Each structure stands twice: as structure tokens, then as C-alpha cells.
Structure 1
Amino acid sequence: MLAAPSRRPSRHRRSTNRLAAVATAAAAAVLLAGCGSGSSSAGSSSAAPAASGAAGGTAAATLRLGYFANVTHAAAVLGVADGGFQKALGSTKLETQVFNAGPAAIEALNAGAIDAAFLGPSPAINAYAKSKGESLRIVAGATDNGASLVVKPSITSAGQLKGTTIATPQLGGTQDVALRTYLAQNGLKTQTTGGSDVDVVNQDNSQTLDLFRSGQVDGGWLPEPWASRLVIDAGAKVLVDEATLWPQKRFPTTIVVVAKGYLDAHPDTVQALLTGEVAEAGVIAQDPTAAQAKINDAIGQLTGKKLSDAVMAASFKNIQVTVDPMASTYQASGEHAVTAGLLKTAPDIQGIFDLRLLNKVLAAAGKPAVSAASLGQE
């Protein structure tokens, strides 16, 4: 994590530097890249999967999985920590890598450093579109809701955001797209839309907490538990609960993606992972209190510090653990990237979903199938 500067630099200098950085990143297909903050949490991330076998595929020697140390990744955090994922995978060795945001995880997926990841919809949509469908498939959902724009208490309306500095986890990530879309819809320009009424900075969530406390950022569009941490631990207020911006007040925050080549070669391994995820979602639903405690212990091991009971309870109140990816929302997500100034045209995402393995797992568990909303196989 970068150390917080001793004083806040002038807004003009910061905006100029960031405008140049955004322009450079956009030219290099920023939505697929990201410097990120990946760190190994189990085993090496360099091992290659077993070679493809017969037409039906073979079990892989390893599954290299990316996820975040966030409450919005509850099933992944729990499934790794309690051994549920490894148990479901059997002889396939689970190796994990922790990221701060989706674009960095997508970069690792495209580079062959990981095989699958829990991340947000926006980076997955853009990776799929830019690769013309060769990069990945969405194979399941993981969590709905659990992201908010939290700001200092003096800000009470969108108009008062003009002249402020607002943080997101990473340029092109799901919360970054949500913030930029909201600002554009309220007539406020950012570096990607020809101005900087609002200075959007991209940084690790822990850094956002520190800089908010010191007054160097005015808020952030953040996933849980970081939104609740800014409110409870640093005195912020919720200006926008993202759920209020979506039909039925639900939106996908975390999904499961798999590299297309890995999915083609090892469908049995992917199905085993999804079996583990469905089981962990069931554990969370059956005893949320016990699950929260285990997830908090795991977050403490990953980050070096457990969340307070108040933050954990508030975070869980704002999320819904589900394996349904809510496919019907994805066309809107693609359009949001255009509104945000991150894409010129709405991406073609036909075929992005492959929910066949998930629906096999659900059928075996006596649960209803989920829909691909005509955007892939189910």
C-alpha cells in the first residue's frame, strides 16, 4: 500500500497527472489491464493446469483461483478458508491469489496466471467483448448488492460532489463504472468524459479509508466491507446505495468467471468448483451468524486485521449471497460503461454465459435452474 502523502496536493496538479494516466491506460486497453495488488495466499500461482484430455475433458492437476478479501466475496472467502472448495475439487489442487479489484484479476486471467476468478461484472463484460468471446465465460453468480457511494457528512446531494475527490478500487472495475455512470447521469464530468468536475482516483480500498480519515479524499464508491468501514470507522455517510439505482433494488456485485480454454479442457473441475460454491452458499444461508464469524476470521488472516462486529453485521445486511448471476442486468451494465466514458459503444456480450455446469449442480441439489437471459448457454 502506498503511504499517504503528508498534505493534499493541489487539485489542478492531481487532475492533470491523472488525465494523462487515464489517456495512456485507455490507449492500452485499460479495461483489460491493471497494475492491481495481487498476492498469493496459497501455493504458487505459476503452476500450469494439466493438459486437455478426451472430448469430455479431464480433471485438472490444479485450479488457480482469484478472489478478494471482501464481504462481497463471502462464498469464496469461506470456501477457501474452511476447505470446502478443496474438498469439492478432490485431487485437483486449489491455489489462490487475492486481488484488490477486477481489472487486475482479469489481467492475470488473460495472462494465464489464474484459471478462474470471483470478480465484478464490468471487467468480465469488457474482457469478453474485447477478446471477441475468447477470454472467458461467466459460469455463476456469487453476491448481489453491497456497494455504495459513501461521502463526508457535509455532502448531501449529487450536485455537491462537484470539486470533490472520490475513490474507487480500480479504473474500469464494477464500482468505478457505477460511480462514473452516476456522475455522468447527474451532469458531472470526469477524466474519461472530457473534464474533471469530480476527480476520480483509483486505489486500494485500505488506502481509501486512510485518505478519507485524513481528509485527502471526500468519499468512495466501494464494495463491502469498505463502504461500512468508512461509515462506522471513519464517520462517512451513505449518499447512494447502488441497489436503489437498479430495478427491484438488486444488482450483481460478484460473479464467477473461468478462462475459456480452461473451461473447455476441464469442465469436470469447473463443475466441482461450482459444487463447492453452492455448498458454501448453503452454509451461509443456514447459519449466517456462524458464517460471518468464520468469514471475518478469514478476512483477518488475509488482511492482517479482522473487521469489527459492527462493520461485519452492517456489511452482511447489505449483501445477498446467490449463485444466480442475474444475467438480465448485463446489457444495462455494458451500456453503463458507455455512459461512464470507458467504452465508445455498448459491447456485444452474446454468449458470455455458460451456466450449464451450474444448472447441473443445482439440479443435483434439488434447486431451480438459473437463466442466461438469452446471452449464452444454460
Structure 2
Amino acid sequence: MKKMFLLLTIFFTFLGILAGCGTEKSSGDVSKKVVIGYFPNINHVPAMVAKDKGFYEKELGDGTKVEYKTFPDGSSFMTALKTGDIDAGLVGPGPAMNNYMTGADVKIIGGGSTGGTVVLASKESGVKSVEDFAGKSFITPAVGCTHDVQVETFLGEHGIESQRIGGTMKHVTGNPAQYANMLKSGKVDIAVAPEPWAAVIQQETGANIIIDHDEISFGETLPASVLVASGKSVKENPDTIQKIVDAHKEATSFIEENPEEAKEITIKDVKEVTGQELSKEVVDQAWERIGFTYKVDSDAVQAFADSSYELKFLKEKPEFTDLIDKQFID
């Protein structure tokens, strides 16, 4: 009898251990991770502010771990979104559109900013106006990126084209943080720069602004950055997406209400990511060329896409009825 009692005791103790292990595993399964992507430029300040203030963690709750990844261009960002390395984030509308047109599962779920694209020429280039562009070299972050489409649309209106479509201008790509050095060294003549790098170029090289942020095509209407997620996430996890958008909206409101603190956050974040410390003067100058909003102008996005098609960045005429999903911001 005693032996039977001992066996039963061991048996139920073992069950208790199993149950305890099961609880720990279950608890581990409940924890979630969300990865947010963005670029280290002023068009992406909402992500920097949300990161610094913990807005994503606050909205997502339930112990959700939030990680951040930064990218030098839209191509690498979109690759990360497609592979699931990031869940959502800010990117230029150009890469979002281009990838959507090639079958990528992407949705624009909010706006990020407007403006901030400036075209500058080095003093040594001899470029004083758009009429001097023929035969010169220009740099953008990537082929077909937002800034590339903006400048090539503007140039087309002045009868100038890149070598890619039969013109004389040589196009190269590179990291905007390196544009100042490339202009100074003579590697390129003209830089199409997102802020704050346009202001950095002005301060470090004395380059001339040839096309300002409010003169370049779509400069004041097009979202310079958009908040995106995968269509699968929008469909399967709408509550999570809504919380991400709510955090983004909170960050946008913070920027409007606390511009000086938002600038400090920007300077700190850009230094952490790029190793370059922006001066307050540079950030103040760049800030004047940018607007922050979580709204999306669908008509401006479609007009921009039509121009991308005409410039042969897109193989098919675009229709973006399903690309933009406003349910989370309306």
C-alpha cells in the first residue's frame, strides 16, 4: 500500500512538473515581436520620435517587444518587408509603388511627411540652372526611388533626360549621407538630396540650390514618406496594424506640438545610425522644407505613379485602388 502511495505521489508530482513546463512555454509563445523600419533622414522623423518615446510599445502593449531597423534606400527596405524581416515602417512612395506593380504584397496604411527633396550642384560643376544639366552627372538614393522620379519628372518638363531613357545625363546612386563628399571630390556634379542631407551639403560644400523643395515636381503634394505594411498583416492582424498606426499618429502630433524636442531626437538618432552629428543649424534649415502628416493624398500618389510609368520605371500603367488602405487613419 505504501509502495502504491509512493508511486502515485511521484506520478502526480511528475504531472505537476509537466504542467509547470507547459505554462512557461505558453507564456513564451504569448510574447510578440514587432520590427519597424525607417531611414535616417528627416522625412522619417515620426519613426525616430515613436522609437524614442516608446509610442509603439505603449500602443502594442501585452509585453510586445519592438525592434527597429534602418535602411539606406527603398530597395533594401522593401526586400526586408517582403521577407518578413520587418513588419511595418516608413519608406518613400516610389519603392512602395514599384514593388506593388511587380506583385509585392504591400499596403500604404498612412502618410509620413511631405517635401524635403532638394537638388544641389557643386560650385566646380559650373551648373547655375537647369539649362546647364545636359551632359552632367546626378546622384539619387536608388533608380526609380521617390527622389529620382521627382527630379526626372522635373527634367522631362524642361526637355532633359537621363542616359537611361536616351538623354545625356549620367545617373549614379548612393547613400545620401555621402553626397557632400562626392560633390566635393567631383565624383558627381548634382545631388538630389532628401533632408537633412541637403542642408548638410549646403553647410559643408557651399553647393548651390538649383531646384528647391517647393519647385521640384510633386514637392508639396506627394508624401515624401509613407507608412507601409504587408497586405497579409493588414488582413490577418488588423488590430496590430491599427496600434502601429495609432503610435505613428501620436508621434506626428508630438512633432507638431514639440518641434524643438523632436529636433533633438532627430540629431541623436541620426548620429546613432550614421555616425554623423547634425548641427542644430542644419536641422533647423531642413525642418523648414518638411511637413509631417499621417494623411495620404491618393490623387498625388496616382499622379506620381503615372509619371513613373511615363519615365519607364514601371512597365505597366499603374492603378492604385488596392495599394492605399485608409481604414486605419480615417
TM-score range, shorter chain: 0.7 to 0.9
Match of 2:162 among 165, 173, 190: 190
Of 126, 140, 163, the residue aligned with 2:98 is 126
Superposition TM-score, scaled by structure 2 size? 0.85
> Alpha-carbon deviation of 1:246?
5.1
Q: CA deviation at 1:113?
A: 1.9
SS of structure 1 residue aligned to 2:199: helix
Indicate whether 1:308 and 2:279 are aligned.
yes
Q: Are residue 86 (structure 1) and residue 57 (structure 2) matched?
A: yes
Question: Higher RCO, 1 or 2 (CA under 8 Å, sep at least 6)?
Answer: 2
- CA contact 1:167–1:219 (8 Å) conserved in 2: yes
Give me the whole-angstrom Cα distance separating, in 2, the residues matched to 1:67 and 1:247.
Answer: 22
**CA offset at residue 247 of structure 1?**
7.1
Take 2:252 and 2:199, find their aligned partners in 1: how far apart are those partners?
Answer: 22
1:138 partnered with 2:75: no
The aligned counterpart of 1:149 is: 119
Aligned to 1:6: none
Shift of 1:108: 1.6
- How far the C-alpha of 1:301 sits from its partner, in A, is 1.4
Q: Which amino acid aligns with 1:209?
A: A
For the residues of structure 1 that align with 2:133 and 2:219, how far apart are their CA atoms?
Answer: 27
Q: Would you tell me which structure has more helix in proportion to its own residues?
A: 2
| Counterpart contact for 1:129–1:349, Cα < 8 Å | no
- Superposition TM-score, scaled by structure 1 size: 0.75
| Alpha carbons 1:143, 1:254 under 8 Å: kept | yes
Q: Which residue of 1 aligns with 2:214?
A: 243
Does structure 1 conserve the Cα–Cα contact (< 8 Å) formed by 2:153 and 2:217? no
The CA RMSD over aligned residues, in Å, is: 1.9
1:355 aligned partner, one-letter code:
K
| TM-aligned CA deviation for residue 248 of structure 1 | 9.1
Question: Which residue matches 1:112?
Answer: 84
Mean CA deviation greater in 344-353 or 134-143:
344-353
The answer for unaligned runs of 5 or more in structure 1 is 1-58, 360-378
Question: Residue 331 of structure 1 is aligned with which of 302, 307, 328?
Answer: 302
CA gap of 1:191–1:341, structure 2 versus 1, over 3 A, is: farther
Equivalent in the alignment of 1:39:
none
The aligned amino acid for 1:186 is H
Alpha carbons 1:76, 1:277 under 8 Å: kept? yes
Identity of aligned residues (%): 27
Residue in structure 2 matched with residue 49 of structure 1 by the alignment? none
Q: Please state how far the C-alpha of 1:174 moved relative to its aligned partner.
A: 0.5
Change beyond 3 A, Cα 1:122–1:275 = same
Residue 168 of structure 1: aligned partner: 140
Give CA deviations for 1:93-141 in whole Å, capped at 9, x if unaligned.
212210011122112212222221201111111212221xx51111000
Residue 193 of structure 1 deviates from its aligned partner by 0.4
- 1:1-378 superposed matches below 5 A: 61-90=32-61, 91-131=63-103, 135-153=105-123, 154-195=126-167, 197-245=168-216, 249-359=220-330
Deviation at 1:60, TM superposition (A): 8.2
Pair 245,214 (structure 1): closer, same or farther in 2 beyond 3 Å: closer
The answer as to whether partners of 2:151 and 2:217 remain within 8 angstroms in 1 is no
Measured in 2, the distance between the counterparts of 1:191 and 1:230 equals: 25
Shift of 1:204: 0.8
Gaps of 5+ in 2: 1-29
Distance, in Å, in 2 between the alignment partners of 1:108 and 1:210 is 29
In structure 2, do the counterparts of structure 1 residues 248 and 219 end up closer, same or farther at CA, with 3 Å as the change threshold? closer
Write the distance in 2 (CA, Å) between the matches of 1:339 and 1:324.
26
